[in-house]
Amino acid sequence: MTGAALLGITFEFLTNEDFWINVGVLATTYGVFALGVQLNIGTTGIFNFGQAGFMAVGSYTMGILVVRSGASFWLAMLAGLGTAAAAAILVGLPSLRLRADYFAISTLAFSEIVRYIADNWDGLTGGNLGLFGYSDTWNDLSARIDGWLGHLGIAPRFLLPLLVVNLTVFLALAAFVAVLVRSPWGRVLNAIREDEDAARALGKNTFAYKLQSLSIAAALAAIAGYMLAINISILSPTSFDPVITAYGYVIVILGGLGSYLGVVVGSFFLIFLLEATRYLELPLSDARVAALRFVIVGLVLMALVIFRPQGLFGKRQELMLRARR
Amino acid sequence: MSGGSYALEAEPRRGPVAAAAAAVRQHPLASLGVVAASVALWLGITEGWHELAQATLNGIVAGNYFALGAVGLTLIFGVLRLVNFAHGEFLTFGAYMLVAANALDLPLVVSAAVGVVATAGLALSLEVVLWRPVRRKRVGELQLLLLALGLAYVMRYTIAFVAGPEDRATGADVTAGVTIFGLRIGRTELIVTLVGLAVIALVAIALRSTSLGRQMRALSDSIELSETTGIDTDRIVLVTWAISGGLAGLAGIIYALPAGTVNPQLGFTLILSIFAAVVVGGIGNAYGALAGGMVIGVAQEWSTLVIDPSMKVAVGFAVLILVLLVRPQGLFGRARSVDR
C-alpha cells in the first residue's frame, strides 16, 4: 500500500467503466492485429516484422478514399483490405523465397518506409497533422447501436458501440482463423513451419502458401487499422510507428506461439497493463511518457523472449524451432 | 535453388526479359555500370549536367554515412549471423554523445571522438550483458531477431525519454560553404566527408591486409572452422562489435554535423537506406557494404532530380526490393548464401 502511494497510483480506475471500455476497444484492436502475427510466425513460421506497415496501408487507403474522393466508408474498407494484401505480395514476392532474415529485413524496411511516406506526403495523407473526416458513416451506425442497446436497458456510453462491434469482430475472426489453421490449407502452413523442405517434397507450392499467409495477415492488420481509425477519429503516422509490431509479438509470445486462444488472452493482458500505467502519476511531459511506454513494451518483449519464450499457453520447443545453423 | 549452375544447363528458351535478368545475374558489376551510365546520360540530358554533377556530389556525401553504417551492420551479421535491428540506434547514440560532450564545452573534434568511443563502448557492453549470454543459451533464430527488434525500440525510446523528443543543435557551423568547380558543398560537410572517405579506405585496407581483418573475414565464413584453426573467436567478436559500434557512431556524427541538429529519430530515418546498402553489397560482405552505401547514396540524390526530395528514402526501399528480385546475393555475394 505504501509502495503504491509512493508511486502515486490510486486503484480507483479499476472500478471506472470507461477504463474497461477503453481497454476492451484497444485490446480487440491489437488482438486482431496480433492474429495476423500469430498466423505468420506461430502457424507458418515466417518472420513478418512489418505488420504495422500493413495496418497503415489498409487504414490510410480507407481514410484517403473516403476523405479525398468521397467514397463509401464500406467500399473504402474493402479497398483497404485489397491494398494491404497487395502490399504483402509486393514485399513477399522478392523476399519470401530467400533466407528468413532477408524477409525480416524487407518487412521491417517496408514498415518504416510506409510510416515515412505517411509523414511526408502531406497532400495525400495529411502528413503529421493527420487525416480526419472519415467517421460520419460510423457515427450514424454508432448512434443506432446506442439505440439498440437502449432497448436492452443499457445506457449510452462513449465508445460502448465500438466495443460491441470490435469484440464481435475480434472473437469471430479469432474463431475463423483458429478453424482455418485446422483445415487442410492450414495444415500445410503448419508443415511449412515444421519442415519446409519436406512440405515441398510432398509437392506443395510452399512459396504460394507463405504468400497467402502473409496476405491474410496484412488484411487482418488492415481491419485492426480500421478499429484504430474509428477509435481515435484521426489517422496520423505516430499511430503506425513500427514499434506497434512489437505489440503484436508481445501478445503472441505472451499467449504462446501457435495458440489463438492465447492471442485473445494475451491482448487483453498487455493492453490492461499498458493502460493501467497511464494512471501512474509521473511528473513527466506527454512525449516522455509515450517514449517510456514504448521502452516498456520493448523490454517486456526482450524479457519474454529470454525468460519465458513459451508464453502462457505455448510449448517451449515452439520458439526453439529453427535453431541457428 | 543454386544460382551458379546456369552455365551447365542446356540453354532454355526464354523471353528477352528473362534473358536480361540472367545477364544481370551473371555480370552484376558490369550491369550496374551500364544501368548507372544510362541513367546518368538520361539525367544529364534532361535535367542538365551541372545539376547531375551536384546531385552526384551530394550522393557521395550521403553515401559516406550509409557506407560507414552498413559496414558495421554487415560485419556483425557476417561474424554472428545476427541482424542487428538496433544498429540505427547506434548512429543516434553517437550523435547524441557528441551533443552531450559538446555541451561540456569540449571542442567539436574531441566531442566527435567521444561520440565514436562511447558508441563502441555501448556496442561492447551490449555484447557482454546481452548477446554473449543469449548465444550461450543457444536460442532460436526467431528469438535472436525479436531480441534485436526489442532492443532497437528500447534504445530508440530510451534516447527519446532521456533527451526529449525535440531537435538539439550539434554546435557545428552549417552556414559556411565552399564552391569547387562550380559545385556547392558546406564547409563542415566537406570536412566530415573527407574524414569519412579516409576511414572507409582505412577499413577496406585493414580488412584486406591486417591479421585482425583476415581473422574477422574468416569468422564470417565459418565460425567453427575459425575456432579449429586457433582463432580466439571471443576476442574477434568483441573487436568486431567495437568496430561496428565505432563506425556507426561516426556515421551518425557525419550525418548530424552538417545537418546541424539531432533528434531521436535520426537512426530510424537512416537505417532503411543502410539495410538497402547491406543487401546491395551482399549481406555479410564488408567491401560490398562500402560500395552499396555509395550506390544507395548516389541513387537517392539522383532521384531528387526527378521526384520530390522528401521521397528519396523510398528510392532506397525500391533498390532493396529490386536487388532482392534480380540478384538477392548482392553485387559481391555468393548464391548459396541466400537460400533458406
Q: How many CB atoms lie within 10 A of CB B211?
A: 9
Disruptive mutation site among A305, A321, A325 for chain B (greatest number of B CBs within 10 Å): A305
Q: A96 in helix, strand or coil?
A: coil
- Gap from B138 CA to chain A (nearest CA, Å): 8
Do residue A100 and residue B141 have CB atoms under 8 angstroms apart?
yes
Average pLDDT over residues B332-338: 60
β B168-169/A234-235 pair status: unpaired
What does the pLDDT read at residue A144? 87
Which of B99, B290, B91, B301 shows the shortest CA–CA distance to B185? B301
Average pLDDT over residues A234-257: 88
Cell matching residue B87: 544498429
Q: How does pLDDT run across B5-33, given as a tens digit for each residue?
A: 444 445 556 677 777 777 777 777 777 88
Which of A110, A118, A112 shows the shortest CA–CA distance to A234? A118
Confidence of residue A324 (pLDDT cuts 50, 70, 90): very low
Q: How does pLDDT run across A70-97, given as a tens digit for each residue?
A: 888 999 999 999 999 999 999 999 888 8
Task: With beta carbons less than 8 A apart as the criterion, state whether A95 and A88 touch.
Answer: no
Among B137, B157, B314, select the one facing A291 at the smallest CB separation: B157
What does the pLDDT read at residue A130? 84
pLDDT at residue B277 tops 90: yes
Do residue B145 and residue A47 have CB atoms under 8 angstroms apart?
yes
**Which amino acid does the sequence have at B274?**
I
Q: What is the pTM of this model?
A: 0.84
* Chain B residues in contact with A99 (beta carbon < 8 A): 337-340
Which of B57, B101, B85 shows the shortest CA–CA distance to B257? B101
Among A94, A117, A323, select the one facing B325 at the smallest CB separation: A94
* Chain B residues in contact with A285 (beta carbon < 8 A): 164
Average pLDDT over residues A216-245: 91
- Gap from B154 CA to chain A (nearest CA, Å): 5
Confidence of residue A265 (pLDDT cuts 50, 70, 90): very high
A·B CB contacts under 8 A:
159
Among B137, B145, B158, select the one facing A104 at the smallest CB separation: B145
Task: With beta carbons less than 8 A apart as the criterion, state whether A154 and A160 touch.
Answer: yes
With a CB cutoff of 8 Å and minimum separation 6, the contacts of B195 are B254
Max CA distance (Å), chain A: 64
Task: With beta carbons less than 8 A apart as the criterion, state whether A34 and A252 touch.
Answer: yes
Q: How many CB atoms lie within 10 A of CB A187?
A: 13
Task: With beta carbons less than 8 A apart as the criterion, state whether A294 and A243 touch.
Answer: yes
CA distances from B291 to A85, B32, B63, B286 (A): 34, 11, 9, 9
Which of A65, A26, A59, A35 shows the shortest CA–CA distance to A216? A35
Confidence of residue B327 (pLDDT cuts 50, 70, 90): confident
Disruptive mutation site among B266, B310, B324, B326 for chain A (greatest number of A CBs within 10 Å): B324
B146 touching chain A per CB within 8 A: yes
Q: How many CB atoms lie within 10 A of CB B20?
A: 13
Do residue A288 and residue B161 have CB atoms under 8 angstroms apart?
yes
For A127, counting Cβ atoms within 10 Å of its Cβ (0-12 exposed, 13-18 middle, 19+ buried), the class is middle
ipTM topping 0.90:
no
**Average pLDDT score, chain A:** 86
- pLDDT top residue among B96 and B136: B96
Q: How many CB atoms lie within 10 A of CB B49?
A: 11
532521456: which residue's cell?
A: B162
Confidence of residue B107 (pLDDT cuts 50, 70, 90): confident
pLDDT at residue A129 tops 80: yes
State how far the Cα of A57 lies from the Cα of B46, in Å rounded to an integer: 34
CA distances from B141 to A101, B186, B257, B289 (A): 9, 44, 37, 23
Q: Residue ranges of the alpha helices (H) in chain B? A: 16-26, 28-47, 49-80, 87-103, 108-126, 132-136, 141-163, 187-209, 211-221, 223-228, 233-259, 266-281, 286-303, 312-326
Confidence of residue B325 (pLDDT cuts 50, 70, 90): confident
**Exposure on the CB side of residue B9, measured as CA atoms within 13 A:** 9
* Chain B residues in contact with A116 (beta carbon < 8 A): 269, 272, 313-314
pLDDT at residue A10 tops 70: no
Task: With beta carbons less than 8 A apart as the criterion, state whether B266 and B65 touch.
Answer: no
With a CB cutoff of 8 Å and minimum separation 6, the contacts of B270 are B65, B66, B69, B88, B91, B251, B252, B255
pLDDT at residue A165 tops 80: yes
Task: With beta carbons less than 8 A apart as the criterion, state whether B253 and B189 touch.
Answer: no
Which of A297, A162, A296 shows the shortest CA–CA distance to A232? A162
Average pLDDT over residues B295-320: 87
- Gap from A137 CA to chain B (nearest CA, Å): 33
Q: How many CB atoms lie within 10 A of CB B18?
A: 11
DSSP assignments along A185-212, one per residue: HHHHHHHHHHHHHHHHHTT--HHHHHHH
What does the pLDDT read at residue A296? 87
Cell matching residue B127: 555484447
Average pLDDT over residues B201-214: 86
* Chain A residues in contact with B85 (beta carbon < 8 A): 49, 108
Average pLDDT over residues A288-301: 86
A230 phi and psi, to 5 degrees?
A: -70, -40
Task: With beta carbons less than 8 A apart as the criterion, state whether B83 and B149 touch.
Answer: no
Do residue B146 and residue A292 have CB atoms under 8 angstroms apart?
no
Q: A46 in helix, strand or coil?
A: coil
What does the pLDDT read at residue B95? 94
**Which amino acid does the sequence have at A225?**
G
Least confident piece of the model among A210-224, A255-269, B314-328: B314-328
State how far the Cα of B219 lies from the Cα of B212, in Å rounded to an integer: 11
* Chain A residues in contact with B320 (beta carbon < 8 A): 106, 109
Q: A51 in helix, strand or coil?
A: helix
Maximum average pLDDT range among B36-40, B74-78, B118-122: B118-122
